[in-house]
Structure 1
Amino acid sequence: MKIQLIRHATMLIEINGRSILVDPMLSEAGKMAAVPGVANNSANPLVSLPVDPSSIIHADAVVVTHTHRDHFDDAAKEYLPSDSLIFCQTPDRISATNYYLLRGSCPV
């Protein structure tokens, strides 16, 4: 098993020839507004991705622990293939504000 921390909560897990992308936040550094209500008013993400997004988006599955923008952002929506198998929690699946029901692809 190999677990690679990409940035923040984003990680790639590889096991038995399969890969799982967890919490893809794929925006370029500084492309999103600061998190409201916190002392740090710097634009997010704070650091650049250490890998090209195209090298991680073709995972066998994507796990979204919750759909805050620091765990699933607009860039992830754009980069992930439309047929990505996405797993998320039921409350996220039924919230229409969360990536248009994450393409209706949350079987968990």
Structure 2
Amino acid sequence: MNPELRNRLIKATAGGAIALATVLIQWHKGVRYTPYRDSGGVLSVCYGHTGSDIIPGKRYSAAECQSLLDSDLKAAMAVVDANVTVPLTESQKAALASFAYNVGSGAF
């Protein structure tokens, strides 16, 4: 594991699953402040946010990107909570939330 990612995850552990998932997504997705088409041709922005609320040609701020990530991750966490019926550690919950974020709630 990359030492920088490892250090970020260790620091985020105290914040629980949401903090851990945020670090994972930010690290693996990266941020793009202008809308782009992802590998599937879907219009995306920031940390992989998709949806009809994306404004083509707009340059999003870091704060807007963080807000979109927070909202999307909250939805992903709700999908995990609604569909996983076994006890999970915070790390397991973070990994599943990151997965749900990436594949979308309908594919989880």
Q: Normalising by the residue count of structure 1, what TM-score does the alignment of the two structures yield?
A: 0.22
User: Which structure carries more helix by proportion?
Assistant: 2
User: Which structure carries more strand by proportion?
Assistant: 1
Q: Normalising by the residue count of structure 2, what TM-score does the alignment of the two structures yield?
A: 0.22
